[in-house]
Structure 1
Amino acid sequence: MTITQRKLNLNVGINTTGYLGHAWPYRTGTRHDINDPAYYRRLTELAHKGLFDAVFFSDHPALMTDPEGRPFHTIDPLILCTALAAQVPDIGFVATMSSTYNSPYNLARRTQSTDIVSGGRLIINIVSSFNPNVAANFGSEPLPQRHERYAKASEFLDVAKKLWASWDPAREGDVPEGRFWDATSAHTIDHDGTYFTVKGPLNVPVGPQGHPVIAQAGASEGGIDLAARHGEIIYCNILSRPAGRAFGEKVRDRARAFGRDPASIRIVPGLVAIVGETRAEALRKHELFSGAGSEDGLIARFIRENGIDPAGFDPDAILDAERFIPDPNRLLAVGMGLGLLDLLTHEKLTARQVVRRSEGHHRLVIGTPDEVADQIIDLWADGTVDGYTLQPPRAPDDIEEFVAKVVPILQDRGVYRTRYEESTIRERYGLPFPEGTTRPADRPALSRLA
C-alpha cells in the first residue's frame, strides 16, 4: 500500500456496557460500572493507549426503563468529558448535546469552557431530539415537528458560532494604563431570529481551536441540510462504498449550495467490529453478541424488525430496496433507517447477506484481525470515508481486543498514527480554523489540566 500523509481517523464510543444491548452478559465488569466515573476513566485510558482521536459519548436525556434492556446514557456527557480531560491527556472528547432542549448561550458558554480547560480537545455532537419521553422531561409542550426541530437546530448553531467568536482577547489593541482590558475585544451579537433572541457577548473568550469542533448525526433531508451548513465531522451509517460515495457527494454538494467549502467536512460513520482468531469464530461471536444466537436467529430478527410476513419468505432471494423505505414521519431517527435502503439501492443482496453487513444500524466488519483491518482500510483508502467511530459490542473487552490486535496492523500498513502529534482535535482532523477569530499562532498560550 502507498503510504501518504493522510491518516485514518478513529473515534470510539464508550457508552455504558458497549454498543450492543445483548452483549452485556459476555463483558468483563459489573452492572455498577455504568455509573462509576473510574470506569469511564479506564475506558478512556484504554482508548488513549490505542491512539484514538476521541472517545464518543452519545446522549439521550431520558432514562430507558425497559426491564429487559439496560440504561445506555447516565452521567451528563459534557460534565464527564470535562472530568476525563483533566485525567487523560491527548485524546479528544465527543459530547452529544440537544439543540432542541438547550439554550444557545448556556451551551456556548459550557462547551467553550470545556474546550479551554481541555486545551482544544472538545467535539460537540449536536442532535435534534426525537423522543417524546425527552420532551416530557422539559415541560408540557409536545415534541416539535421534525422540520421545526432542524430549523431550530440550524439557528441554534448560528447563534452559538456568533457567541463563540464574540470575545477575542487576542484582538486587543494597546490597553490604556490603569485599565485591565480593552473592552472593544468583545462585541454584542444582537441576534433576533425566529427561535432565539440573544444579545451577547459570551463571557468566555475564544478557545484554542476557535470553537469546539461540530459533529452532526443525521441522514434525513433536514439532517443533511444541518450537516451541510454546520457539520465538520459527520457521524452516519454507511454500509457500502456506493452508498458512502452517494452520501458524501450529497452532503458536499449541499454544502456548496450553502456557500461552504466542502473540504471542511469529514465523513466518520459508525463501525461495529467483531474480531476472532478465525472468521468462523468471529461469526459465532456476532450471533452471540447480537442476541440472535444463530444465523437463523439473525434472519428471524431481520424479518421481525422490518415487518415482513415470515410465511414463504426466502432468505436467499434478492431483496427489493423499495420495500425498506423508512416512513419520513416516524418518531425514530430517519437517518438510521436510510442505511439499509441505501445499501440495497446500490447492491443486490439477500437477507442472509444483509444480516452480516449491518449491526445496530452501522457497518459490520467481521473476521480475523487482518480481515477486519482490510475492511476498515477498504473504504478509507479511496476517500469514501475519512475514518470511523468504532462502536464496540462490549466495553471494555472489544476495545481491548481492537487496540491489541487491529491497531498494530493499521500502524504497520502506514495508515494510522504511531503517536499523538497535533494538540487540538481541529488540527488532528485537518479542519480549517473558524473565520472571524484569531489563529493559535496569534493567541496567548493557555495551559490545560492534563
Structure 2
Amino acid sequence: MTAHRLYLSVALNSTGSAARSWRAAGSKWNRFADWEHYLRSAQLAHEGVFDIVFVSDHPALQRDNTSRPIHSFDPTVLFTAVAATVPDIGFLLTASTSYNSPYNLARRLATLDHISGGRVIWNVVSSFNPDIAANFGAAPLPERAERYRRADEFLRVVKDLWLSWDSPSGPAPDGPLWDGTTARRIDHHGEFFDVTGPLNVPIGPQGHPVISQAGASDAGIDLAARHSDIVYASLLHKQSAFDYQSRLRERALAHGRDPDDLRLIPGLTVILGETREEAYRKHEALHGHRGEDGLIADFLERNWAVDLDHRRIDPDKPLDPALFTWTEDQKRPVGFVKSFAELAAAEPITPRQLVRRVEGGHRLAVGTPREVADTILDWWSSGAVAGFNIHIPVLPDGIEEFNRLVIPLLQESGAFPSAYDGSTIRERLKLPDPRNRP
C-alpha cells in the first residue's frame, strides 16, 4: 500500500479532452471563450473534492481548425479570477521557461499564491512548437538541449527569488521594514540570465508554489528529478510506471533530494457507461463514429509512429514496438511516442485493442464506474502512482458524472477523502516546506 492517500487532479482545458467536444449536444459550442465555463468546471471539481484543477498552455492558435481550440485564456489570469470564487482546490497552471522572464513570472505566481492562500502549482514547460517561437520574435525555436539548460537555470532563479524576502510577521520592527538579512539579493549571473533580486513579493503561505513538470526524455526526467514536486507523464502500462518512477528516484538521489518527495501523477482519460458496451459506444460517438473501425482508422492516420504506413497495418495483428521511434533531441515531445513503444513491448497489443487503451496519448479507462474506480485503485494501491490527472472528454458535464459515479467508490475504499485537508496545496500533498532547504 502506498504511503499517501490517492491524489486526483482534473484537466480543465477548453471544452474537454475530446476534439469534438465543442459539438456536444446541449452545450454552448463556443464555451472555450466563456470564463464562466471554466468557473463552473472548477466549482464541480471542488464539489468532487479534487485536489487540483489543471490547465495546460500553448501560446499559439493551433492549426487544426476542426478541433476545439485547446488553449485560449492565459492560465495565470484565469486562475486569479477562479481563485477568488472557488476555495480549497489547488490551481496547476502552465507557463513556459522559453518565453518568459524569471523575475516577472516569479512575481506573478508569488502574487497569485498569496491571493489564493497557498494553492498555486506551476507546471513547467520549455515549449516545443515553432509556432510559439514565431509569436515571440524572429529567432527560431532553440534546440532541445538549449531549452532544457535554460529551463534549469530559469527554475533555479525563480526558486531563489521566491525565498529572497522573508514573510513580514510578528511585532512591527523598530527600525527599517527590511534589510540585507531579511530581503536578500540573489546576484545570479548565468548562461541565460542576470538577476539581482530580491523579489518584491514576500515569501508566501506555502513557502513558494509547488512545481510540476512532465518529462520523458533523459533531459526531461533529470529536470523533473532536480526541481519538481509533481511529475506528470504518459504511462500506458503499470510496469512502465514503476520503471519511470525508478529512473526518477535515481536521478533525485543524484541531485541530493529525497525521492519520496516526488508525486507521480500521470494522465488518465475516463469514459463512463452503465455497461462497458455503452461506454464503447460513447467512445466511438465522441469521435463521430458508429463503430470501432473508425477509431482504428483515426489512430493509424494520426501516425504516432514515424514510419507507419497505416494502409499496411493489420488491425488485429500485434504492433511491432520498433514502429514507434524517437530520438532524445527531436523537437516534438518524446513522451507519447515512447509510451506507445513501452506498451507494445510489454504485451502483444493490436491496434483494435490499443484504441481502447489510449486516448489523446494518455491511458484510457473506458467502462463502468466500478471498472474505472478499480483501475485507479489498482495502480495507486500497488505504489505505481500517487494519483491521476483525470481528462474529461466533455466539460463541464463529465466532471459532474465522475463526481456522481466514481468519486463515491473511491471514498468508500478509504483511498480518497470526503473533505479537504491541509490549508495549502503543499500541506495536502505532504510535501516538504522549501524554507527548510539549505
Question: Shorter-chain-normalised TM-score: which range?
Answer: over 0.9
Q: Match of 2:228?
A: 231
* Counterpart check, 1:370 vs 2:370: yes
1:366-405 correspondence runs (5 A) = 366-405=366-405
Structure 2 CA distance, aligned partners of 1:331 and 1:41?
34
Q: Match of 2:98?
A: 100
Q: Match of 1:448?
A: none
1:136-147 correspondence runs (5 A) = 136-147=134-145
* Counterpart check, 1:166 vs 2:164: yes
Structure 2 CA distance, aligned partners of 1:366 and 1:393?
11
Q: Match of 1:31?
A: 29
* Counterpart check, 1:212 vs 2:212: no
SS at match of 2:122: strand
1:122-271 correspondence runs (5 A) = 122-169=120-167, 175-177=173-175, 179-182=176-179, 184-271=181-268
| Displacement after TM superposition at 1:39 (Å) | 1.5
Which ranges in structure 2 are unaligned for 5 or more consecutive residues?
none
SS at match of 2:27: coil
Deviations 1:195-239 (A, max 9, x none): 111100000011111110001012111211110111110111111
| Displacement after TM superposition at 1:66 (Å) | 3.0
Structure 2 CA distance, aligned partners of 1:221 and 1:291?
38
Deviations 1:393-439 (A, max 9, x none): 1101211110111001111111111101211111111111114579x
1:38-57 correspondence runs (5 A) = 38-57=36-55
Contact persistence 1:240–1:343 (CA under 8 A): yes
SS at match of 1:390: strand
* Counterpart check, 1:409 vs 2:409: yes
Runs of 4+ in 1 over 6 A off after TM superposition: 171-174
| Displacement after TM superposition at 1:28 (Å) | 3.8
Q: Match of 2:17?
A: 19
- Judged with a 3 Å threshold, the aligned counterparts in structure 2 of structure 1 residues 174 and 92 are, in CA distance, closer, same or farther, namely closer
| Displacement after TM superposition at 1:183 (Å) | 5.0
Which ranges in structure 1 are unaligned for 5 or more consecutive residues?
439-450
- Judged with a 3 Å threshold, the aligned counterparts in structure 2 of structure 1 residues 311 and 197 are, in CA distance, closer, same or farther, namely closer
Structure 2 CA distance, aligned partners of 1:147 and 1:286?
38
Deviations 1:74-122 (A, max 9, x none): 1110111111111111111011000000011111111011001100000
Of all paired residues, the percent bearing the same amino acid is 50
Structure 2 CA distance, aligned partners of 1:312 and 1:35?
41
Deviations 1:279-335 (A, max 9, x none): 000011111213454211222223222353345532222222122122444432112
- Alignment RMSD, CA only? 2.0
Structure 1 CA distance, aligned partners of 2:329 and 2:163?
37
- Judged with a 3 Å threshold, the aligned counterparts in structure 2 of structure 1 residues 50 and 129 are, in CA distance, closer, same or farther, namely same
Structure 1 CA distance, aligned partners of 2:290 and 2:183?
60
SS at match of 2:406: helix
TM value normalised by structure 2: 0.95
Contact persistence 1:165–1:436 (CA under 8 A): no
Contact persistence 2:144–2:330 (CA under 8 A): no
TM value normalised by structure 1: 0.92
Structure 2 CA distance, aligned partners of 1:327 and 1:22?
31
Letter in 1 for 2:19: G
Deviates more, 1:164-173 or 1:292-301: 164-173
Across the two proteins, how many residue pairs are aligned to each other?
Answer: 435
Q: Match of 1:426?
A: 426
Contact persistence 1:28–1:396 (CA under 8 A): no
Contact persistence 1:65–1:71 (CA under 8 A): no
The one of 284, 287, 290 aligned to 1:287: 284
Structure 1 CA distance, aligned partners of 2:131 and 2:310?
32
Q: Match of 1:301?
A: 298
| Displacement after TM superposition at 1:22 (Å) | 2.2
SS at match of 1:96: strand
Structure 2 CA distance, aligned partners of 1:187 and 1:392?
44
Contact persistence 1:171–1:185 (CA under 8 A): no
The one of 69, 87, 90 aligned to 2:88: 90
Letter in 1 for 2:103: Y
